[in-house]
Amino acid sequence: MTNRLAAETSPYLRQHADNPVDWWPWCEEAFAVARRENKPVLLSIGYAACHWCHVMAHESFEDEAVARVMNALYVNVKVDREERPDVDKVYQLAHQALARRGGGWPLTVFLTPDDRLPFFAGTYFPKTPRYGMPSFVQVLQGVRRWYDEKPAELRAQNEALARFLADYGEGDSHADALDDSPIARALERIAAEFDADNGGRRGAPKFPHASEIELQSNAGGERGAAMARLTLERMAERGLRDHLGGGFFRYCIDAEWDIPHFEKMLYDNAQLLPLYARTDDPAFAAAAFDAATWLVGEMSASGGGFYSSLDADSEGEEGRFYVWDRDEVRGLLDAGEYALVERRFGLDRAPNFEDHAWHLRAVLSLQDAAAALSIEPEEAQARWLRARRRLLAARGARARPALDDKILTAWNALAIAGAARGARVDENLAALTVEAERALDFLHAQLWKDGRLYASHARGETKFAAYLDDHAFLLDALLAMLQLRWKRRDLDWAILLADTLLDRFEDRDRGGFWFTAHDAEALPQRPKPWMDESLPSGNGVAARALLRLGHLLGETRYLDAAERCLRAAWPSLQELPHASCTLLLALGEFLRPRMHVVLRAADGEEASRWKEAAATTVRADVYRIPPQDAPLPGVLAAQIHRAGGIAYVCEGAHCRAPIAIPDELSIAVNDTACVP
């Protein structure tokens, strides 16, 4: 017998539809029932690819005895954090305040039904006492006793928590001149925590932090660039990367990037791909190409758009789809192929996964493995390609991890932007840009309704008014795609999104952008996120995109809103600059605006000459507008096309005289002294 979650669009919620728990989705009716029956609400937040969410579900939510206790004592509400990131952000912060430690998933929160404030919170609770934790039933019973027997104490705590939530992240806006001191402090802090052997931050678990790597590369000088490069090298050669199927896993549980938590998320790969593509290292280009191949082959929906994630588990075991028995590998390959794979991926060493299996990580480069076997690099490459095809075919016959087929606007926007920026420097990513174009068209057709953006599409249904991340990430993606190819629809759409950010999300009193729109559902807190999490800060992406669009169009409203955002974020940038790298990237572009180049050149050879001249730097944003298209509004409204093409080069509000010769453009984009 199914519960109310059977009708939901979220694959994660539907995973719990057969639980004996009397689950509700997040809705007013659930809280009304709780108020009427004087029951607290048990809120459980997770997502489809989450391993420990599955563990708690199998142990407790599928157990009849545990479910009876839950149903008797609570109104039980299940939330997919990917559909409702607004709910998740509020209660993750509340958990941090109540438990005095960071949260995660599954998140287990107990709420008073009238004000929805949490009075007790945790993450995973085991079915039986272990790991120094009480059993879940003990928690259920103890929390309910507190709710029944000490209401005054509970109310006093809730009042204090409400004040904390209201004040969190708010400080005095910075009134003086903005400078790059937070960038310098962030780079110092990142360097102090840097793992000189393995890259990334010292210790475990080890997460990829794309915006941190970008900040090191852009603003860290030679030292920062070297640290960024080492991190990219280690992630690409070790266990964070799927060396057979392509793409990167969510994170590694150890300090050496050896063993991942095996879920694969769209947003991680979207952020990492352009970082690998923009280098001139063939190994990095291969990692980018493999990630693009995985995105095209496994994450692209037939009707357009990218799916959200692949599960960590299959057949009830984490990593089962990805790990290998050594004899199985030997049986699939010929002697020469196996010798190479054995050396390269450490199959001649002890098992690295739970003492019985091997997760493939490159302990030797292909060149070093070839040298160890005394074979030519070309022969090693041929052997590896044959071995990879055979291993992939064998792996493909296994039971596959579950796919979360939601199409999320924010995550798709990250993928579209990543594809566009990667393709700008690597023409081998053309297949991915085709899918990015289809994804953008899908978002416009299915998630843009009557001038309003929506956050999620699943099972043919578009749901949830879009959040800050959806608007900011999509604005950024449109600007990236406009540089790849010009489409007037996308410029007009970008302007509408920018106006929406100012009209419906900006804090007009203090600056910055709320995570939810002004007319969104009221929650115990209205987040205004400054710091990067698994996704980049919506405020940081918004500020950066508004700066770029504002300079392109000469629109001071966008530039002023970006500056207000940075001023409002200043207290956070002073306190935890290294946790706000996306905002710091925006600050860097505010202080030193990116060059933007508008080319009026016809298709074909004419366009190629101009684009080649402009492509000699990544400092410039380059837009090629065909001659038949209307000129840009704003500062370059007077631009014209001439036979042979013409280029307009600006840095901030200062523009050069029009350039009529491609060689002169190549000089201009590499000259930072832009003449008014």
Residue 145 in any domain: the answer is yes
148 and 17 part of one domain: yes
Residue 237 in any domain: the answer is yes
205 and 157 part of one domain: no
217 and 355 part of one domain: yes
The alpha carbon of residue 551 and the mean position of all alpha carbons in its chain are separated, in whole angstroms, by 26
Query: Which CATH number fits the domain that encloses residue 609?
Result: 3.40.30
Spatial distance between the Cα atoms of 365 and 349, rounded to a whole number of angstroms:
16
Angle at 59 between CA 58 and CA 63, to 5 degrees: 85
The alpha carbon of residue 342 and the mean position of all alpha carbons in its chain are separated, in whole angstroms, by 34
Query: Which CATH number fits the domain that encloses residue 102?
Result: 3.40.30.10
197 and 125 part of one domain: no
100 and 239 part of one domain: no
Tokens for 505?
């999300």
- Amino acid 617: pLDDT: 62
Residue 667, number of CB atoms within 10 A of its CB: 12
Nearest to 664 by CA among 654, 423, 675, 653: 675
Q: What is the pLDDT of residues 126-137, one digit of tens each?
A: 999 987 889 999
Domain span including residue 366: 193-404
Region of 201 (left: φ > 0; alpha: ψ -120 to 50; beta: rest) is beta
Q: Which of 167, 202, 231 is the last residue of a domain?
A: 167
Residue 264 in any domain: the answer is yes
- Amino acid 652: pLDDT: 84
31 and 115 part of one domain: yes
- Amino acid 568: pLDDT: 97
Spatial distance between the Cα atoms of 522 and 518, rounded to a whole number of angstroms:
9
219 and 279 part of one domain: yes
Cα→Cα distances 298→204, 244, 293, Å: 29, 13, 8
φ/ψ (deg, to 5) at 222: -60, -40
Spatial distance between the Cα atoms of 59 and 43, rounded to a whole number of angstroms:
17
330 and 268 part of one domain: yes
96 and 221 part of one domain: no
Number of domains the chain contains = 3
- Amino acid 674: pLDDT: 41
Residue 273 in any domain: the answer is yes
Asked if residues 292 and 419 have their Cβ atoms less than 8 Å apart, the reply is yes
Q: What is the pLDDT of residues 271-329, one digit of tens each?
A: 999 999 988 899 999 999 999 999 999 999 999 999 999 999 999 999 999 999 999 99
Q: H helices of 527-580, where?
A: 538-553, 556-575
Residues listed for the chain: 676
Residue 334 in any domain: the answer is yes
Q: Which of 370, 387, 404 is the last residue of a domain?
A: 404
247 and 390 part of one domain: yes
Residue 665 in any domain: the answer is yes
286 and 335 part of one domain: yes
Residue 161 in any domain: the answer is yes
3 state SS of 172? coil
Residue 460 in any domain: the answer is no
37 and 99 part of one domain: yes
Q: H helices of 74-119, where?
A: 85-99
- Amino acid 673: pLDDT: 46
Cα→Cα distances 189→215, 265, 575, Å: 12, 28, 11
Write down the pTM of the prediction. 0.96
Residues of the chain where predicted confidence (pLDDT) is lower than 70 = 1, 616-618, 634-641, 671-676
